Structure 1
Amino acid sequence: MMGRGGSYCVSRGTSFAQVLKKNMVVTPGCSSFVPQPASDFHTYTKPKPLDQAGNSPDKISSGPKNIPKELIERYKRGETHAVSLLYQLSQVLQFQVEMKETVTTVGPPPLPVKEREYPLSETHFGRTVFERKNPVKDQIPSTIKEMFSKLMDSYPEFAGCGGTVAAFVTQTSIGCEVVALGTGNLNTKESLTPSGRILHDSHAVVTARRSLMRYLYRHLLLFFSKNRSLEEKSIFQQDQNTKLLSLKSHITLHLYLNQLPKGAAQIPSHLRLNPLSISAWEVNNQIGLHVTIDGKVFSVFSSTFEQCGSHVVSMSATDKITQWQVLGFQGALLSHFIEPIYVSSILIGDESCSDTRGMEVAINQRVDGITSKLPMYYCVYRPHISLVPSVMATDAHSTQRTLSLNWSQGDVSLEVVDSLDGKTVEESPFKSGPALASRLCKAAMLSRFNLVSKEAQREELLTAVSYREAKMMAKPYQEAKSVLKSYLATRGYGQWVEKPPISDHFTM
């Protein structure tokens, strides 16, 4: 588990030898991973452009020839992402698409490997080359910094909350635009209630993601407005066969984090994964699932976690990002209207972070091979993960560490939430009403869902009697969610911890 200061302590867990079948070695001058087998390997070749999910499109060449023309035409018109096309074809034509590194082991089991120390200059050189090829790495942090500074010009008393900022940015040919932003580093101490009006998790990326959902609801209303000019302003386009919406083909989404998220992403950089080595069992706890309780992080294998009793438990930010990159950032309710939405890149602005190895393992490696088991439209979308300049300096001694800010494009003002109470503070520029329920709470989301259902003339969705029922009606999403949790458990990463159903059993 991870202590308050960010260091890890060893707790019990299952054997890592069953979990990871290959070594991971950081290459000089690069923050990503290269598979490094124990004894022998076949050369790893870069995937073709169609293959953004890590699977070889060449495998479809030997399949049936009666490929549905409408799928190809949708792809050519830019209405379907390449990843979605590939897996729609695998569903329709009844074949599996999966790429695996070929590893052969000769001789005795591998022994622990002594780490090679790479000069800092090599690492810096690699990052410099990447930045020259990817101006987005400069554009996104500067765009977020400009937006956050603009918001703080109006409310300078909350500037101390900026150290934990997370933001979603859309990129088009015109440039980058911040569409959702959040800060925070804690979860609530309040007990679970069936009201749906308490925010249980106010960590920055969770807050930013719920702000993103508000932004998506706003654009759904534009699309279903029956006004041509408003519809054109929407970020969505519709598939005429499935009637589901997707982001317009020229729009990509990116996630920025000012801090390395809690959980498996913070795996110590000196650890290397030799499955049969003496330290394998320890590493399993490091990259397994984690939970946050009162702002502290624990491995799901930890005995301390098992003793937490009635405390509100949330999955770690790293685990949630892992989930969203499989199920989509839109969540269950929005999946009634739109295809899964993934981020193309995750940018880390943590000044104390020297590499992204933990993020690579947590976000990409833990779910390697799951795509063929998922329902249509869902896949492992592998974002490019890299280090970028920090937007705001982290102030560990800030007196505002219990406050969480949220904003999305179209909002007139900031909302400020007390993370421990899960409610809006009296001083907040925006307040929804005397009850001080946050605009990010589940009840607020259900209200927007019902409004969009009405505008989209989806009468069947309005029959849901509770928030939970509306979520469970999204059957493909729930199927994908079940597959993900089962997959993580069978690979030895631990059981996903669900909040008690009582928190979702409310109506409007």
Structure 2
Amino acid sequence: GPRGPLRTQGWLSLSGLGNMQYLVFAFCAVLDGVTYRTGTGVTKKEARLMAAKLALQDLLPLMNSQLSLAEPSVHDPPPLPVSDVQVDATVWPCRPLPSPQPCRTLPDHNPQSERMSLAVGQQLSVLLKSHPEFSGCSATVAAFLIQTSDSCEVVALGTGSINTNGCSVANGRVLHDSHAVVVARRSLMRFLYRHLLMFFNKKPSLQAESIFERSPDSPLLAVKSNITLHLYLSQLPKGTARMPPNLRLNPLSMAAWEVINQLSLHITVEGKVFSMSSVEPPAGKMASMSSSDKLTQWQVLGYQGALLSHFIQPLYAQSILIGKTHTPTHAAGGSCVNTRVVAVAISQRAEGITDGLPIHYCMVIPHFSLAPSAMDSGSASSPQQNLSMNWSQGDSSLEVVDGLKGMTIDDSPFKSSPAMASRLCKAAMLSRFTLLVREAERDQLMSTMSYRDAKMRAKHYQEAKNLLKAHLTKQGYGRWISKPPHTDIFNM
């Protein structure tokens, strides 16, 4: 029959391509030339049903609001339907995505993002002023900030863009991933331990300075209500967030498969990125999930990790600021593309997971915005390109780690021990956890246990983690890799 207007009738055609490696099929619905979101499934029938469901989710709001969209050219299919609408941090609702909107660039002068970026730059300058010989380590920077009604301060900072090339070691003293956001997050955990020890201190003055308070509806502590957490990234995280911003869906081509491939989970091996949809983790090499994938995980599980989940509720970033520097791939796309693509990479893949998560856990959508670059853009100098710096509020000085070895370098301003293990390593975290258990008088956790035992006993955290892994696999994004269990079986 003839094709009708969008709001009344039209042909529905389905096209797909099987990803035989993971037995996942991808289909997208096309109505009057408009291509809708791709549905995936382990069978063709399941993928078709999902494609039809996603198309209806996008169509019904358009019909109800009487919106009309310009019909795209046959030679220029519509972009991947991702909204550019800015949203405040909230629990991800189970609702259809808005229809594609014109790209809206965030204001160049956002007072909050400028203030946070300035704070990161100032903190980094202070640290490097005492140790200018490590200025070449600051090409890629990530930092966590806490904000109150009248202040904004950097509490954790990390640099780096590589992970270790060694084999897994079962002593907890090797830092496997030295990418900036991973280092900053582990530095944040040290900051959280410090404030938990303040909270459980017998001195009321120290207790009052802690960022934590008791929650009326949970035995777990919560961050004080006037405090919010924010994340600054000097550049897009590796992985899905760096997918081509002009990626388009064309049901008559390989583009549907390409979208699944680009949105899939990624791994990093010695700093190089590989899609899980096309390769298996190389044997004999230490592989880590990409920074984009870890950000997705942290916005569901929280940034506190398993050990701290024994004491506090999940802690989420309310905003993610991206420095206004572009890789060559994205430079022509403009700043709007950066925020849109990173929003897809971090938030959209976990859509609909909240309802099944245990208490306190949810998918939190951070507010994505651009920020001025905290430091002059540049690349790491050759001798320092494998080095990573870390710092958290309260530290006396920087620690510098060789990212390929996962150990502190001889010239590091801070060295925790002659063994050269980083203060961010798993063994160091277990040591702080043991101290905190003793100070908090948590008798049920005082029995001697391995690092792995302590993690596994965080039941709700592990349940949420397993649900997220299963969700990503079911949606066709690939399998989340885990390090060998023996790497966590060690005691202090």
* TM-score, length of structure 2 as denominator length: 0.80
Distance between the aligned counterparts of 1:250 and 1:203, measured in 2?
30
- Identical counterparts, % of pairs: 52
Match of 2:155 in 1: 179
Instruction: Judge conservation of contact 2:451–2:490 (CA < 8 Å) in 1.
Output: yes
Match of 2:455 in 1: 471
- Count of aligned residue pairs for this structure pair: 424
Deviations along 1:73-113, whole A, 9 cap, x unmatched? xxxxxxxxxxxxxxxxxxxxxxxxx434599xxxxxxxxxx
Q: 2:178 is paired with a residue of what secondary structure?
A: coil
Match of 1:68 in 2: none
Alignment of 1:341 onto 2:324: no
Letter in 2 for 1:218: R
Instruction: Judge conservation of contact 1:17–1:276 (CA < 8 Å) in 2.
Output: no
Deviations along 1:248-268, whole A, 9 cap, x unmatched? 010011000111100000110
Structure 1: gaps spanning 5 or more residues: 1-9, 25-34, 56-97, 104-114
From 363, 375, 395, the equivalent of 2:378 is: 395
Distance between the aligned counterparts of 2:482 and 2:171, measured in 1?
18
Match of 2:352 in 1: 369
Distance between the aligned counterparts of 2:462 and 2:200, measured in 1?
25
C-alpha displacement of 1:392: 2.1
Letter in 2 for 1:230: L
Alignment of 1:260 onto 2:236: yes
Letter in 2 for 1:52: T
Alignment of 1:37 onto 2:58: yes
Alignment of 1:444 onto 2:428: yes
Match of 1:58 in 2: none
From 471, 474, 481, the equivalent of 1:490 is: 474
Q: 2:267 is paired with a residue of what secondary structure?
A: strand
From 81, 88, 106, the equivalent of 1:127 is: 106
C-alpha displacement of 1:482: 0.5
C-alpha displacement of 1:12: 7.0
Letter in 2 for 1:271: L
C-alpha displacement of 1:242: 2.3
C-alpha displacement of 1:198: 0.2
Distance between the aligned counterparts of 1:428 and 1:485, measured in 2?
37
C-alpha displacement of 1:15: 3.4
Distance between the aligned counterparts of 2:235 and 2:263, measured in 1?
18
C-alpha displacement of 1:391: 1.4
C-alpha displacement of 1:283: 1.1
Q: What aligned pairs does 1:2-13 form with structure 2 within 5 A after superposition?
A: none
Alignment of 1:157 onto 2:133: yes
Deviations along 1:274-294, whole A, 9 cap, x unmatched? 678641101111011000011
Distance between the aligned counterparts of 2:64 and 2:308, measured in 1?
42
Letter in 1 for 2:343: E
Match of 2:304 in 1: 330
Distance between the aligned counterparts of 1:464 and 1:271, measured in 2?
52
Residues 1:184 and 1:404: Cα distance change in structure 2 (over 3 Å): same
Distance between the aligned counterparts of 2:380 and 2:137, measured in 1?
11
Match of 1:53 in 2: 91
Q: 2:452 is paired with a residue of what secondary structure?
A: helix
Instruction: Judge conservation of contact 2:140–2:180 (CA < 8 Å) in 1.
Output: yes
Distance between the aligned counterparts of 2:236 and 2:257, measured in 1?
24
Match of 2:292 in 1: 318
Match of 2:412 in 1: 428
Q: 1:406 is paired with a residue of what secondary structure?
A: strand
Instruction: Judge conservation of contact 1:220–1:452 (CA < 8 Å) in 2.
Output: yes
Distance between the aligned counterparts of 1:11 and 1:414, measured in 2?
48
C-alpha displacement of 1:38: 6.3
Q: 2:298 is paired with a residue of what secondary structure?
A: helix
From 366, 374, 383, the equivalent of 1:383 is: 366
From 411, 423, 434, the equivalent of 2:395 is: 411
Higher mean C-alpha deviation, range 351-360 or range 378-387: 351-360
Q: What aligned pairs does 1:194-213 form with structure 2 within 5 A after superposition?
A: 194-213=170-189
Residues 1:195 and 1:135: Cα distance change in structure 2 (over 3 Å): same
Q: 1:169 is paired with a residue of what secondary structure?
A: strand
Distance between the aligned counterparts of 2:97 and 2:183, measured in 1?
37
Distance between the aligned counterparts of 1:51 and 1:269, measured in 2?
23
Distance between the aligned counterparts of 2:315 and 2:26, measured in 1?
32
Match of 2:218 in 1: 242
Instruction: Judge conservation of contact 1:15–1:280 (CA < 8 Å) in 2.
Output: no
Distance between the aligned counterparts of 1:312 and 1:276, measured in 2?
39
Letter in 2 for 1:169: L
C-alpha displacement of 1:17: 2.8
Match of 1:137 in 2: 113
C-alpha displacement of 1:165: 0.7
From 247, 270, 286, the equivalent of 1:294 is: 270
Distance between the aligned counterparts of 1:409 and 1:468, measured in 2?
27
Alignment of 1:15 onto 2:25: yes
Residues 1:166 and 1:173: Cα distance change in structure 2 (over 3 Å): same
Residues 1:101 and 1:447: Cα distance change in structure 2 (over 3 Å): same
Root mean square deviation, CA, Å = 3.0
Distance between the aligned counterparts of 2:469 and 2:252, measured in 1?
25
C-alpha displacement of 1:46: 13
Alignment of 1:359 onto 2:332: no
Distance between the aligned counterparts of 1:163 and 1:485, measured in 2?
32
C-alpha displacement of 1:240: 4.3
Distance between the aligned counterparts of 1:387 and 1:371, measured in 2?
27
Instruction: Judge conservation of contact 1:16–1:283 (CA < 8 Å) in 2.
Output: no
Letter in 2 for 1:99: R
Letter in 1 for 2:247: L
